[in-house]
Amino acid sequence: MTSAPPQVWSRLRATRSAPPGRATATPPRRRTYAAAMEQFEELMRAAEQVGAAARPLPLFYALSQAGRAVTAAQADEPWQLRGHGLQLKDEGRALLDRRVSPEGGPGTSYRRVAEATGSAVLQQPVTVGALCASLPDLAVVPELCGAKPRALFVQPIAKSGGAVLVMSRDVEAYVVDLPAAIATTEDTASVLARSLARLPDGGGLGLTGSPAARPAE
């Protein structure tokens, strides 16, 4: 797995003594944030040292600790987490066809972290294959996605020499790593527009000029 640059860990480590947001509001929030961020880093480093078969375990608990830090810093009261919030159902199906369903009440890790970060929450079961297709890093692997609508990797177009991007309704960006079916067609713009329309939040996106992007390998 790819390691985060040292400066990223340094900046995250510094937030333990100077927590962001609401993590400074009460001593319990501050303690939870600092402890969760420390365990998150240690578990991520542990995941780097083990093989692929064992790696999901420390990654899962690292993600759990990251969620606790996020809610301590951003969530409304009550901010403490209760349960995971997602369930994988076997149902005798192939792995990519198995369904992930929301479960539990409003205090679960999944729901509270989603609310704290302004993310949409699953309202019904979705297949593992569809979840893979929703991740840009996995959407370029046809074996994991099948015919599911795939996420597209979007690279913002810098408006200045600075490194800070202010997101708004009018951000311009390149779409890269296009699926071969889109990148090799003669009418790339129309095919890409139809592909964007299939995505949950893609209907409001517009195309300008003639799209040009490197196809997925």
pLDDT tens-place string over residues 138-149: 877 878 887 777
pLDDT tens-place string over residues 47-71: 999 999 999 999 999 999 999 999 9
| Phi/psi at 102 (5° precision) | -70, 145
What does the alpha-carbon distance between residue 159 and residue 166 come to, in Å, rounded to a whole number? 10
- Per-residue pLDDT, 37: 97
**What are all long-range contacts of 83-88, with beta carbons under 8 Å and residues at least 24 apart?**
83/107, 83/108, 83/109, 84/108, 84/109, 84/110, 85/109, 85/110, 85/111, 85/112, 86/110, 86/122, 88/128
Residue 78: Cβ within 10 Å count: 11
By percentage, how much of the chain surpasses pLDDT 70?
A: 73
pLDDT tens-place string over residues 171-200: 666 666 666 666 566 666 677 677 667 666
| pLDDT of 215 higher than 70 | no
Strands (E), the chain: 86-89, 99-102, 126-127, 153-156, 173-176
Between 56-74 and 27-48, two packed helices, what is the crossing angle to 10 degrees? 160
Average confidence (pLDDT) over 155-159: 65
DSSP state of 215: B
**What are all long-range contacts of 186-193, with beta carbons under 8 Å and residues at least 24 apart?**
188/212
| pLDDT of 118 higher than 50 | yes
- Per-residue pLDDT, 166: 47
| pTM of model > 0.85 | no
- Per-residue pLDDT, 201: 63
And the tokens for 50?
């083990």
pLDDT tens-place string over residues 18-45: 999 999 999 999 999 999 999 999 999 9
DSSP state of 194: H
Domain residue extents for the chain = 1-80, 83-149, 152-217
